[in-house]
Chains A and B, each alone.
Chain A
Amino acid sequence: MADNSSSNAYWAANIRIITICLVIWAVVSYGFGILLRPLLSVIPVGGTDLGFWFAQQGSILVFIALIFYYAWYMNRIDREYGVDEQ
């Protein structure tokens, strides 16, 4: 394992990216899909509004993007901090 300060920095970077991803995760589902739907109702989508689209499709598409982005990002910083699997 790398020395202590480098592994602390690696973990801090991981926590930071997890926090960013989970904020987006919450905004698209609980935000756009449920709580903010009344605000989004001015934007029409196919016979209904944007909030409905986020609740039934949009949030799922964003979830997929988030997981792939996280996997790509982490696999990159694993190498940067020298903690990847050789």
Chain B
Amino acid sequence: MDQYTLNLLIVGASFALYIGIAIWSRAGSTAEFYAANRGVHPVMNGMATAADWMSAASFISMAGLIAGVGYINSTYLMGWTGGYVLLALLLAPYLRKFGKYTVPQFIGDRFYSQGARLVAVICLIIISVTYVIGQMTGAGVAFSRFLEVEVSTGLWIASAVVFVYAVLGGMKGITYTQVAQYVVLIIAYTIPAIFISIQLTGNPIPPLGLFSTHTEAGVPLLQKLDQVVTDLGFNAYTGQGSLLNMTLFTLSLMIGTAGLPHVIIRFFTVPRVADARWSAGWALVFIALLYLTAPAVGAMARLNIIDTIFPNGVEQPAVEYEQRPDWMRNWEVTGLLKFEDKNNDGRIQYYNDAAAGFNETATQRGWSGNELTINNDILVLANPEIAQLPGWVIGLIAAGGLAAALSTAAGLLLAISSAISHDLVKDWLVPNISEKGELMVARIAMAGAIFVATLLGLNPPGFAAQTVALAFGLAAASIFPVLMMGIFSKRVNSIGATAGMLVGLIVTCLYLFTYLGWFFIPGTNMLENVPANYLFGIPPTAFGPIGALLNFAVAFGLSAMTQEPPRHVQDLVESIRVPRGAGAATGH
């Protein structure tokens, strides 16, 4: 069987599984559509949360980001997991006790203000829409490479599958497909890693392999890696980074993670407050299986790539272009891997031509610039091919990448559609809508959101990469502080919260637009995006914590100057702080 048929078979089987689950778990009520009737077991919810959270960015991009610079990008590992500690300790149990369906609904009730709720809906939609674009483009890349269809055809197939289980099943259908998608993606991610770890170190557990001895070289793998990358002019893999930038960026990712609405609403689906606490722990266990594997994948792939290009060691001449392996040929077609023979010797020189100290060595060896550019995103997808693993492993990686992208897309789409049907239509525009009517509106909103997401995926705005920074920045600066204050302070009132959210939202947007262009349109930035221009040296991607700080300051300051919240709101805060009585809470 050829590779193409194998890919088609494995991806097709995974899609059939998702659709089967969708038909089995149709939603019949709004309680099922929004919160899976609060009947999801905490371990199951942990697994679904893991798939919901781990997106194309985690599955496809993260190991590549780490492989590129090594230690410095540990920020992604700590940032994207540390947020769960905040979620488990500061938000999830109390919001589950509150017992409603959406994040804006809590903000509206706690701050007794339709205006606050509307601002929250706006933040939620900006965050979720920008996030979903990345998932759709990720699905498109996986489709075009492995199933050899046009990106557009692949996208329509992907959205048709999401349509079936998200529109039919709502949160219930999404939950059980996410459990299946987690299983697919974690198997797909770890199997190649295990093979490669055995090949390089003899240790079958990749996180242990990372710190083991490289069998061939007889020295620790990381030491060997440090040596070959510095021999090619790159910074040492385990080398030190800027302490301030790493700290702020990690903090930005942690607070942002805890403020993402599509992750928060997953904790509304468990039966009890105690389950919400356990469930956050299980979610992190399932996430950690991938996150502990990723740095091993990154380091080992970097070593394997250099080994492929310099088969006789980095001191010897590089491989001839005509002798390049098949995986390079395959990925050249996608444009994500490029070769340019600058010195016309027919060989692939790969080194850091930006390092001033390395120029002399390069000239001596007759090199006139780096000749190979590799997009970080291909690293995980190409990994099995680079390590020459069997064909079914390559098919599995394709199914895994799609599972990661689709599971996150579905969670985001649910957050968007419930904000529209519940916060806008049911509780604002048409308050006396029937339950059946609301369910219908929720389905239509879901279908509409899928359509918009597909269109945006087909024509990804050139700023897709930057908008992820916007999603995290806004979640950190607007949603997280206002939720935390709503639970931990009885004093913060509607004026303080609304103003705090608006300040967080606007200042964060302005800071990003200043360096990345107004609405991310290239060329409209007022200052060049270089460290010398940053306020106190803070890069735009790490601005979230500053926005959060301003949000807190404005909210506490204005609240202190104005009236304290009414009695019934203070009672509400009292009641969400204790678990007793959670079972009784319903949608209204």
Contact = CB atoms under 8 A, between A and B. Distances in A.
A57 B574 contact: no
Contacts of B81: 59-60, 63
Interface string A50-84: 00110111011101101110110011001000111
Contacts of A75: 274, 277
B39 to A, nearest CB: 15
B222 A85 contact: no
A85 B274 contact: yes
B576 to A, nearest CB: 11
A47 B579 contact: no
B280 interface: yes
Contact of B574 (A7, A29, A46): A7
A46 B222 contact: yes
A53 B247 contact: no
Interface stretch (B111-119, B125-133, B177-185, B285-293): B285-293
Nearest to A51: B71
Nearest to B294: A56
Nearest to A25: B85
B575 A1 contact: yes
Contact of B243 (A34, A57, A61): A34
Given A55-B71, A84-B580, A71 B85 contact: no
Contacts of B77: 55-56, 59-60
Given A56-B77, A75-B277, A11 B219 contact: no
Contacts of B246: 34
A18 B211 contact: no
A18 B210 CA distance: 33
B274 A83 contact: no
A46 B220 contact: yes
B84 A56 contact: no
A42 interface: no
Given A34-B250, A63-B82, A85-B273, A71 B278 contact: yes
B500 interface: no
B253 to A, nearest CB: 11
A61 B84 CA distance: 12
Nearest to B214: A47
Contacts of A30: 247, 250-251
Contact of B281 (A35, A46, A61, A67): A67
Contacts of A33: 74, 78
A4 to B, nearest CB: 9
- Which one of B71, B219, B291, B577 has the highest number of Cβ atoms from chain A below 10 Å of its Cβ? B71
A70 B280 CA distance: 11
A39 interface: no
Given A70-B89, A84-B580, A35 B243 contact: yes
Contacts of B295: 56-57
A29 B212 contact: no
B284 A64 contact: yes
A74 to B, nearest CB: 6
B223 interface: yes
B89 A21 contact: yes
B221 interface: yes
A12 B88 CA distance: 18
Contact of B89 (A11, A18, A52, A85): A18
B296 to A, nearest CB: 9
Contacts of B85: 21-22, 25, 63, 66-67
Contacts of B88: 67, 70-71
Interface in B219-243: 219-224, 226, 238, 240, 243
B284 A63 contact: yes
Contacts of A49: 238
Contacts of B212: 46
B240 A37 contact: yes
Contacts of A85: 272-274, 579-583
B288 A61 contact: yes
Interface in A1-39: 1-2, 7, 10-11, 14, 18, 21-22, 25, 29-30, 33-35, 37-38
Contacts of A56: 71, 74, 77, 210, 295
B240 A38 contact: yes
A48 B84 contact: no
Interface string B78-111: 1001101100111001000000000000000000
A7 B578 contact: yes
Contacts of B574: 1, 7
Given A18-B89, A60-B81, A71-B281, A34 B247 contact: yes
B203 to A, nearest CB: 11
A79 B246 CA distance: 41
A46 B211 contact: yes
B222 A47 contact: yes
A76 B22 CA distance: 38
Contacts of A10: 577-578
A35 B219 CA distance: 28
B170 interface: no
Given A60-B288, A67-B85, A55 B277 contact: no
A40 interface: no
4 nearest CB pairs, A to B: A47-B220, A46-B211, A55-B74, A71-B277
Given A2-B578, A47-B211, 16 more contacts: A7-B574, A7-B578, A14-B577, A22-B85, A33-B74, A34-B247, A46-B221, A52-B74, A57-B295, A59-B78, A63-B81, A63-B82, A64-B288, A68-B278, A85-B272, A85-B274
